[in-house]
Amino acid sequence: MKFKPANNIQDLQYFGEFGGVNPSISDSSTYTFLSAKTMFDTFEGNADGCYLYSRHTTPSNLYLGEALAAMEGTETANVAASGMGAIAPVLMQLCNAGEHIVSSRTIYGGTYAFLKNFLPKLNIQTSFVDITKLDMVEAAITKNTKVLYCETISNPLLEVADISGLSKLAKKYNLQLVVDNTFSPMLISPARLGADVVVHSLTKFINGSSDTMGGVICGTQDFIDALRSVHDGACMLLGSSLDSLRASSILKNMRTLHIRMKQHSKNATYLAQKFEALGLKTVYPGLSSHPSHVLYKSMLNTEYGYGGMLTIDVGSLEKANALMELMQERNLGYLAVSLGFYKTLFSAPGTSTSSEISEEEQKAMGLSNGLIRFSIGLDNDIARTFEMMHACMKELQVIL
């Protein structure tokens, strides 16, 4: 049977405590117990349905987690205060000092910095590899490796990870496959393809209104319980917990995620085809020129399209900056990092979201100075948007 993320979310039924159509927001940081014994049991993780303290979890956070687990097809989920607040605890939970991670080299700059600069302080080392080459991934695995880490579609180069292939490797060497699915919520369900843990920055498409931060870890009940343990759980002890008010607003925005993803995909497909036809070097997984187009298509949940992210290369940072400034002036989008907003957002990753990666390494992975990353918005009239972008490009001689 086909996996239907949007149906799974819609089929969850929860009412507010007064019969409200939205669950009530739990506006408390701490919870009372009728008996001291139950309080003790809850600390030990043995009192289902009882709440302890908001850093542990809250009813609002559990509701949001349930919806995200339904979307990803995992047993359960734990929400966090940001994407990094989800990723860092997962890696610290899975690895001890002396252990090793094999990671895609093209990942979000913050995650890259965490793996490259922070985890070595705990004596956890990472090898960065071209994730599209399974033989290279396998060659990087050592006896100390515990985790394979990648993004489904990488930030910013839009490389596609072969989740099933990576999962086979993970199983062969008894590793945990952790996949960041931030760029492709609903489109792709990594856990269905064999990922052990799926993380997201909710700050992006899932919330979709660029007004809050959030993160989530989707996985087995055992793993999520371990992360929440009061004794040694990285989520509980590192303290990156989401506030209930924000959890409830993200849950409400999630109701329209499937509609938004379809519109982001439709608009991005239109622009990618038009940009490519102009002769611009365009990367979009929906284009047949994308090196992993066929693989990507084979992993998609049909109906949500190819996603809202695309890149073009305009040749130099000067041209990229001039084009982005002019497009913003003409109200075609915002010169801003992040993604998943109703307006198109654009940035030059080399000097923004990937600036943690050294120039040399950027070169090695093919991240050029003239690259512009677009998160395509929900524009009702994308043909008009294209015409206006085209005019900007002609004016600045980005195209001749």
DSSP code, position 118? I
Site for ligand PLP, residues 318 to 337, rule: CB under 6 A:
none
The yes or no reply on residue 60 touching ligand PLP (CB under 6 A) is no
Distance CA 175, CA 122 (A): 19
The yes or no reply on residue 78 touching ligand PLP (CB under 6 A) is no
Stretch that binds ligand PLP, among 12-20, 106-114, 167-175, 276-284 (CB under 6 A): 106-114
CB of 217 to ligand PLP, least distance (A): 12
Distance CA 32, CA 30 (A): 7
Give, for 328, the enclosing helix (H) or strand (E): helix 317-329
Write the single-letter amino acid at 263. Answer: Q
The yes or no reply on residue 110 touching ligand PLP (CB under 6 A) is yes
Write the single-letter amino acid at 240. Answer: S
CB of 201 to ligand PLP, least distance (A): 3
Selection from 158, 169, 166 nearest residue 107 by Cα: 158
CB of 390 to ligand PLP, least distance (A): 28
Write the single-letter amino acid at 363. Answer: K
Distance CA 234, CA 227 (A): 5
- The residue from 72, 99, 151, 162 that contacts ligand PLP (CB under 6 A) is 151
Q: Are 367 and 349 in contact (CB under 8 A)?
A: yes
Selection from 182, 208, 200, 215 nearest residue 85 by Cα: 215
In the shown chain, the binding pattern of residues 6 to 45 toward ligand PLP, with x for contact by CB under 6 A and - for none, equals ----------------------------------------
Site for ligand PLP, residues 251 to 270, rule: CB under 6 A:
none
Q: Indicate the pairing of strand 100-104 with strand 145-151.
A: parallel
The yes or no reply on residue 108 touching ligand PLP (CB under 6 A) is yes
Strand partners, 218: 77, 198
Site for ligand PLP, residues 201 to 220, rule: CB under 6 A:
201, 203, 213, 215
Q: How many residues does the chain have?
A: 400
Max CA distance (Å), the chain = 76
CB of 2 to ligand PLP, least distance (A): 26
Residue number, 47 or 113, with CB nearest to ligand PLP: 113
Residue nearest to ligand PLP (CB): 83
Take residue 298 and report the two structure tokens written for it: 């084979």
Distances (CA, A) of 276 to 10, 31, 287, 370, 399: 37, 57, 9, 16, 11
CB of 378 to ligand PLP, least distance (A): 19
Residue number, 273 or 355, with CB nearest to ligand PLP: 355
- The residue from 99, 162, 180, 379 that contacts ligand PLP (CB under 6 A) is 180
The yes or no reply on residue 182 touching ligand PLP (CB under 6 A) is yes
Residue 364 burial (CB count, 10 A): 13
CB of 12 to ligand PLP, least distance (A): 24
The yes or no reply on residue 346 touching ligand PLP (CB under 6 A) is no
- The residue from 58, 155, 267, 282 that contacts ligand PLP (CB under 6 A) is 155
What residues make contact with ligand PLP under the rule CB under 6 A?
Answer: 82-84, 108, 110-111, 151, 155, 180, 182-183, 201, 203, 213, 215, 353
